[in-house]
Amino acid sequence: MPIENAATAELIKALPKAELHLHIEGSLEPELMMALAAKHQVTLPYATIDDVRRAYNFDNLQSFLDLYYLGASVLRDEDDFYRLMWDYLCKCKEDKVVHAEIMFDPQTHTERGIGFEVFMSGFMRAIAQAEKEWGQSTLLIMSFLRHLSEESAFETLEAAQPYLSMITAVGLDSSELGNPPQKFARVFAKAKSLGLLRVAHAGEEGPVEYIWSALNDLDVHRIDHGVRSVDDPALMQTLAQKQMPLTVCPLSNIKLCVFSHMREHNILSLLDSGLLVTVNADDPSYFGGYLNDNYHALAAHLPITQEQIKTLAANSFKASFLAQDKKALWLAQVAAL
Ligand code: HPA
Ligand code: ZN
């Protein structure tokens, strides 16, 4: 097993990076979960923080999602959402994530009677503070829960109308199998007509047909995960030719048993095939690490070179929704290292 060397560790620390696949609800650390449960008298099936951590053993995506929605049930008031966002943005500062495109799941909250005004004002207060304090750059991606109906997604888009100036893109997450992208084709078309950009989870557990559907039916700008692309050479060729970004999440893929071990991860073959691959944390609190931990895990278990690490960091800016001039500034900084 290649051991990560000190120079690689230094490079990972020094590189400016963008994070493009991060669920804010998945950054809820056990400490905050327990504190908010006590604050709001929510009963969780855990007595201690260690009990929470011990529960983080997943067989597949659904076994994780069950805990993820349970955890999110402690988020109740504006201050809770502020704190959740603030804690993640502080991690960005630590990991040199200079730009973050952050997903949130409105339906996880609106279904519990918590309205857009509550979570949006909490998020925006933290975002404005981080921008003011250290120049943190942030965009928001509103994700629809694909296990819910098309009608529920339309209602969510409607409820989001007063907040559209704060939302850059829509996304699609939750239980993939049995909920193909085409289920949301009309919602995504409406989102496009409102000027929203589009991303979708596809090919995490689902088959390559779901990746084709995300491209053809949702007109996405990025595929979240997409690691199953390797099953279809024609799809690989299309993704490479379009330079369609994949937001790959290595630690997530191991925790959810998409690959049996980091040694088995296909990120380097995706990269070698000319795809625009990026590295991301997905749900860092549940999957054992933030963005730099994902880079370190690759360096510890795969024969990744420093040039490839720099390519992954550069790709994160290329695949972002930043304006061209901002991309160019960050790409120059990556190249200078
Ligand atoms: N996949 C699908 N839905 C999700 C995920 C994920 O990795 N994280 C949070 N919701
Ligand atoms: Zn995800």
* Averaged pLDDT in 10-residue chunks for the chain of 337 residues: 81 98 98 98 96 96 97 98 99 98 98 98 99 98 98 98 98 98 99 99 98 99 98 98 99 98 98 98 98 98 98 99 98 98
Q: Which atom of ligand 1 is nearest to the CA of 249?
A: 7
Query: Which pair of structure tokens corresponds to residue 181?
Result: 């992208």
Among the bound ligands, name the one nearest to the CA of residue 21. Answer: 2
Ligand nearest to the CA of 177: 1
| Residues forming the active site | 204
Residues whose beta carbon lies within 6 Å of some atom of ligand 1:
23, 26, 61, 68, 173-174, 201, 204, 252, 282-283
Nearest to 275 by CA among 224, 324, 232, 229: 229
Rounded Cα distance, 189 and 131, in Å: 32
Instruction: State which of 201, 211, 252 you would mutate to test the pocket of ligand 1, scoring each by most atoms of that ligand within 8 A of its C-beta.
Output: 201
- pLDDT for the residue numbered 3: 63
Closest protein CA for atom 7 of ligand 1? 282
Per-residue pLDDT, 68: 97
Q: How many other CB atoms are found less than 10 A from the CB of residue 248?
A: 29
Q: For the sheet containing 222-225, what is the strand order?
A: 17-23, 97-104, 137-145, 169-173, 197-202, 222-225, 246-248, 277-279
The helix (H) or strand (E) run that includes residue 207 is none
Mutate to test the pocket of ligand 1, among 20, 65, 141 (most ligand atoms within 8 A of CB): 65
164 Cα: distance to centroid of ligand 1 (angstroms): 23
Measured distance CA(320)–CA(108) in Å, rounded? 25
Q: What is the pLDDT of residue 156?
A: 98
Choice from 70, 174, 285, 294 to test ligand 1 binding pocket (greatest atom count within 8 A of CB)? 174
Residues linked to residue 102 through DSSP beta bridges, in sequence order: 22, 140
Q: How many residues does the chain have?
A: 337
Q: Say which amino acid occupies 261.
A: H
From CA 185, how far away is CA 279, in angstroms rounded? 27
- Cβ within 8 Å of residue 99, ≥6 positions away: 18, 19, 137, 138, 139, 317, 320, 322, 326, 330
The span from the CA of 303 to the CA of 240, in Å, is 22
Cα 335 to ligand 1 centroid, rounded to whole Å? 32
Q: 73 alpha carbon to ligand 1 midpoint, in Å? A: 16
For residue 307, give the nearest of 331, 335, 281 by alpha carbon. 335
Distance (angstroms) between ligand 1 centre and the Cα of 23 equals 7
Rounded to the nearest 5°, which phi and psi values hold at 162? -70, -10
Q: Which one, of 197, 206, 173, lies nearest residue 283 by Cα?
A: 173
Closest atom of ligand 1 relative to the 143 alpha carbon: 10
Q: Which ligand is nearest to the CA of 258?
A: 1
Cα(325) to centroid(ligand 1), Å: 31
Q: Which of 160, 167, 158, 171 is nearest to 198 (CA)?
A: 171
In 3-state terms, what secondary structure has residue 148? coil
